[in-house]
Amino acid sequence: MSTTLLQMRGIVKTFPGVRALDGVDLEVRTGEVHCLLGQNGAGKSTLIKVLAGAQRPDEGTIEWCGDKVSLRGPAAAMKLGIATIYQELDLVDGLSVAENIFLGHEPTTVGFARRTEMRGNARRLLERLGHGEIDPAQEVGELSSASKQLVSMARALSLDARLIVMDEPSAVLAHDEISGLFRVIEELTRQGIAIVYISHRLDEIREIGDRITVLKDGRTVAEDLPAASTATDRVVSLMTGRSMVSAFPERKSGSAPENQNELLRVADLSRTGEFEDISFTVRGGEIVGIAGLVGSGRSEILQTVYGARKPRTGEVELEGKRLPPGNVRAAVRAGMGLAPEERKSQALVPYESIAHNVSLAALGRYARLGWVNRPGEQAAAEEVTTALRLQPSDTKQPVRVLSGGNQQKAVVARWLLTDCRVLLLDEPTRGVDVGAKAEIYALVRELADSGVGVLLVSSEIPEVLGLSDRVLVLREGRIVRESPADEIDEAEVLDLFIEGSAA
Amino acid sequence: MTEQSQTDTVPASESRSATAEAPRTRIARGRFSDGNQRQILGLLAVLGILIAVGSFTTDNFFEVSNLVLLLSQASIIGVLSIGMTFVIISGGIDLSVGAIIALASVWATTGATQEFGLWGMLFTAVVVAGVCGLINGVLIAYGGLVSLIVTIAGLASYRGMATLISGGQPQVVRVDGFGAIATTEFLGIPLLVYMFATTVVLGWLLLNRTTFGRHVFAVGGNAEAARLAGIDVRRTRTIVFVLSGLCCAIAAIMLTARTATGASTHGNLYELDAIAAVILGGTLLSGGRGTLIGSILGVVVFTTVNNIFVLNNLSTPIQQIAKGVIIVIAVLLQRRANKESAG
Ligand SMILES: Nc1ncnc2c1ncn2[C@@H]1O[C@H](COP(=O)(O)OP(=O)(O)OP(=O)(O)O)[C@@H](O)[C@H]1O
Ligand SMILES: [Mg+2]
């Protein structure tokens, strides 16, 4: 249908002690959406870093429009027309939208940036993406994840990119924002721009993708698969070497949770501009899911319950005892835990080892009088990371070199180690591959079965519905529906979201 | 990260053969502490070179008396660098240590304090320096002020207080037991060195074997993550500055005993020596990463340089230039080591 734009052959990249890429081939054609699939740690992000010129391959060739090229740095890749939107967004928070879009190639007059022109151009690019509402003068740090991503995309357009690489763009987006992203992608491909799209959500691949390349353990194991017609089972077994596992664990039969006593009671919680009059309870052994769009206040609710934010009104009770508002330590002491949404900024200590990161919140359990029992700590960390199939298995590695999905596993693992009574999970499976998702679900269910109350927030509606016992649907900071999970389906939840925007 | 590729000097063929048998599994050399270990090996190498230079250029470098002298010279800055390591790993900086030494030494040697004898003087030094550290810590952790600013203010005001109390005059130590701290020896090694060694061991255990030490790394590496993990970030920050204060107390006692005076000029610019040693030892100024052993080696390297220069009768300005050069080279090496293991 179209010509080959990019051909990578036999790419090898080693890091001290790890062979991240071990002979990868990738062929991308103009105007296609090329999906790159693989388990966590398969080498996807490393491959696109090579393509972006951010990492130099040890071996292999790269052909661009039929010519052999060597990408000596990010600038060289950009010059060819390769733009990359990284898994961990890499915008400068303190700069404005326009400054970020043109960072490194500002229109200048003798060294001075022409700011008005820059803002005008930025606005035009954002409009081309269908998001003229983003103000070019605004500081990027104040934007939502979705808007930040659009800024990255505008940046790619400003570079006249012919190939845009997107590393798990949908992981930080809500349902409606993903459709927005897909519209943008379709528009871009119509203009002949090729997209390399990485995601762990196979339904997205089917919807937007043209062809699939599958990586496993740093090697290309399948190329040129048609995205629309390849069976999911086939893709999963190529990625994992196993056949598809059933995703969600069984709920405990009958009405077991109802017999349990209330662990968490939240009453009339409000925060100005974020959410109003939130009341709900979580029983021991119960998983309560919150479904809501980004911006509906779901993460804010979790953080307020946890004491990381102070409510305007309302109270939180744990096992009948009222928690002081805005006090994380009190919440933790009372037996609460929160796995936060943003792994990089809110959860991980980059230079510390996997083991130290995983044990951080539970360190008291492995210490006596402040003295850490290191073998005990190590063993516990290894047990939980093995259960989650966290790679690499050597828990002395610094968490900073892990792939995105493996970092996420470390965040979840941290809270599985604590003996908390109530666990708040904010997007626990963001960026995690299909196989490992099932492991996380099983562990969360196991935890609930042992009497822990779980409050779950996720952008993936099937995850909320599949894992929870009871679901709260949130719209614009209010609970609009509470229902047992098996009495509500995805379409209904989506209707509830949309009703709000129609009203 | 983006320049990582340019400094990657390992030839492709070599790295391939290293992993050929066991693709994608860790090989023994790639341990977590690799970066730290490399740093420490680097410092040991530098030290080895210095020792070689010392023994070639002078006759008496290896004399026991010189080595003992070297160690006792390293003791005071060494003790300071221990507290400084905690502060810097936690993401802060303490510029007030020299001034705290001055204040503690002056306060411990006033006529009134000396009436209480040896233990009264020791107690005073510990309390004064500890309280100074506490004030720093509380202002930083609970007042939300930047440590650089708070400790610059401390640098000025603690030394000002020391001058005020002493009237600008050195105060002679008249308590015999106190002077003995500097002169007592066991097995030919001065008490000062034992004090230093004890502080090192205690500091190392605190940093590497306790929950508090873990919290220091977490707070410096990602304070928000530490807070959300239920760690008392403010308390951790405060304690770190108190520890630095207590190290100042020990240093003040050592210095006062050695000079047999308490003076408001004591400890001038010691903060820079301590910080330089910590950075040379591989602790990141931005926090979250570092080793105590590195800091100690840093101190020993600087002291050895001084020692060699003195033995060779080279002037102070040349010493200072050499120190500057060593710092720059070390930080350059450090950056390289980080890049090699970075993503
Ligand atoms: N700087 C680095 N140093 C050492 N190892 C690294 C480094 N960067 C990546 N790796 C390793 O390389 C492998 C591939 O990582 P990569 O980030 O490419 O995976 P990925 O396919 O993007 O996974 P995910 O789906 O989780 O994002 C992992 O095992 C990772 O630990
Ligand atoms: Mg990745």
Separation CA A166–CA A104 (nearest Å) = 20
pLDDT computed for residue B334 by the predictor: 62
Separation CA A338–CA A301 (nearest Å) = 12
CATH of region A4-244: 3.40.50.300
Contact B113, B107 (CB under 8 A): yes
- Return all residues near B293 (Cβ < 8 A) that are at least 6 apart: B40, B204, B281
Give the model's confidence band at B337: pLDDT under 50 very low, under 70 low, under 90 confident, else very high.
low
Q: Which CATH class is domain B12-342?
A: mainly alpha
- Which of A7-11, A232-236, B34-38, B335-339 has the highest average model confidence (pLDDT)? A7-11
Separation CA A116–CA A378 (nearest Å) = 56
DSSP single-letter state for residue A96: B
Q: Give CA B325 to chain center in angstroms.
A: 19
Separation CA A61–CA A391 (nearest Å) = 28
Return the amino acid letter for B173. V
pLDDT computed for residue B29 by the predictor: 37
Return the amino acid letter for A39. Q
Separation CA A103–CA A106 (nearest Å) = 6
**On the CB side of A341, how many CA atoms lie within 13 Å of its CA?**
20
- Span B119-133, average pLDDT: 96
Task: Identify which of B116, B120, B121 has the alpha carbon closest to the alpha carbon of residue B105.
Answer: B121
Residues of chain A with pLDDT under 70: 1, 89, 243-246, 252-260, 500-503
Considering only CA atoms, give the Rg of chain A. 23
Mutate to test the pocket of ligand 1, among A13, A18, A49, A172 (most ligand atoms within 8 A of CB): A18
By CA distance, what is B10's nearest residue in A?
A: A58
Name the closest ligand to CA A430.
1
User: How many angstroms is it from B233 CA to the middle of ligand 1?
Assistant: 31
Which residue carries 């996997």 as its tokens? A354
**On the CB side of B292, how many CA atoms lie within 13 Å of its CA?**
23
Tokens of B331: 């930080």
Asked if B227 and A308 come within 8 Å (Cβ–Cβ), the reply is yes
Task: Identify which of A327, A278, A333 has the alpha carbon closest to the alpha carbon of residue A457.
Answer: A278
DSSP readout, B156-220? HHHHHHHHHHHTT--EE---HHHHHHHH-EETTEEHHHHHHHHHHHHHHHHHHHBHHHHHHHHHH
Which residue carries 């259960």 as its tokens? A387
Atom from ligand 1 closest to the CA of residue B343: 1
Q: What angle do CA B60, B64, B65 make, to 5 degrees?
A: 80
Q: What is the pLDDT of residues B260-306, one digit of tens each?
A: 999 999 999 999 999 999 998 989 889 999 999 999 999 999 899 88
Lowest mean pLDDT among A15-29, A149-163, B124-138, B329-343: B329-343
Measured between beta carbons, which residues in chain A are less than 8 angstroms from residue B29? 16-17
pLDDT computed for residue B35 by the predictor: 66
Say if strands A59-64 and A4-15 run parallel, antiparallel, or are unpaired. Answer: antiparallel
Separation CA A185–CA A82 (nearest Å) = 15
Q: Cis ω on the peptide bond leading into residue A392 (within 30° of 0)?
A: yes
pLDDT at B132 over 90: yes
pLDDT at B28 over 50: no
Closest-CA distance, A423 to chain B, in angstroms, reads 12
Helical (H) or strand (E) element with B179: helix B176-183
Round to the nearest angstrom and report the end-to-end CA distance of chain B.
Answer: 6
Contact A319, A421 (CB under 8 A): yes
Measured between beta carbons, which residues in chain B are less than 8 angstroms from residue A392? 26
User: How many angstroms is it from B264 CA to the middle of ligand 1?
Assistant: 55
Asked if B341 and A16 come within 8 Å (Cβ–Cβ), the reply is yes
User: How many angstroms is it from A350 CA to the middle of ligand 1?
Assistant: 14
Tokens of A180: 């927005």
pLDDT computed for residue A255 by the predictor: 47
User: How many angstroms is it from A265 CA to the middle of ligand 2?
Assistant: 38
The domain ranges of chain A are 4-244, 260-335+421-503, 350-419
**On the CB side of B202, how many CA atoms lie within 13 Å of its CA?**
12
Of B214 and B315, the structure prediction assigns the larger pLDDT to B214
pLDDT computed for residue B32 by the predictor: 41
Tokens of B242: 């108190």
CATH of region A260-335+421-503: 3.40.50.300
Helical (H) or strand (E) element with A19: strand A18-29
Separation CA A425–CA A432 (nearest Å) = 14
By CA distance, what is B226's nearest residue in A?
A: A347
Tokens of B112: 């009134």
Return the amino acid letter for A167. D
Asked if A18 and B24 come within 8 Å (Cβ–Cβ), the reply is yes
Going by alpha carbons, the residue nearest to atom 18 of ligand 1 is A43
Mutate to test the pocket of ligand 1, among A19, A46, A84, A88 (most ligand atoms within 8 A of CB): A46
By CA distance, what is B342's nearest residue in A?
A: A401
Separation CA A497–CA A501 (nearest Å) = 7
Contact B246, B101 (CB under 8 A): no
Going by alpha carbons, the residue nearest to atom 24 of ligand 1 is A40
Asked if A360 and B341 come within 8 Å (Cβ–Cβ), the reply is no
Which of B23, B30, B225 is opposite residue A349, by nearest beta carbon? B225
Tokens of B117: 């004898």
What's the residue count for chain B? 343
pLDDT at B24 over 60: no
Q: What is the pLDDT of residues B293-327, one digit of tens each?
A: 999 999 999 899 888 888 888 778 888 888 788 77
Region of A465 (left: φ > 0; alpha: ψ -120 to 50; beta: rest) is: alpha
- Span B250-263, average pLDDT: 94
Asked if B225 and A348 come within 8 Å (Cβ–Cβ), the reply is yes
Q: Between the CA of residue B307 and those of A32, A266, B313, what are the distances in Å?
A: 69, 67, 10
pLDDT computed for residue A490 by the predictor: 87
Q: Say what the ipTM of the complex is.
A: 0.85
Which of B15, B212, B218 is opposite residue A14, by nearest beta carbon? B15
pLDDT computed for residue A111 by the predictor: 72
pLDDT computed for residue B163 by the predictor: 95
- Matching fold, domains A4-244 and A260-335+421-503: yes
Query: What is the rounded average pLDDT for all residues in chain B?
Result: 85
pLDDT at B179 over 50: yes
Given strand A211-216, what is the order of strands in its sheet? A82-85, A163-167, A194-198, A33-37, A211-216, A219-226
Beta bridge partners of A267: A315
Contact A192, A31 (CB under 8 A): yes
pLDDT computed for residue A410 by the predictor: 93
- Per-residue burial over B260-277, b = 16 or more CB atoms within 10 Å of its CB, e = otherwise: bbbbbbbbeebbebbbbb
For A167, the 3-state DSSP assignment is strand
Tokens of A249: 């664990």
User: How many angstroms is it from B79 CA to the middle of ligand 2?
Assistant: 44
Contact B16, A59 (CB under 8 A): yes
pLDDT computed for residue A59 by the predictor: 93
Structure pTM?
A: 0.87
Q: Is the CB of A351 under 6 A from ligand 1?
A: no
Query: Cα dihedral sign for B190, B194, B195, B199?
Result: positive
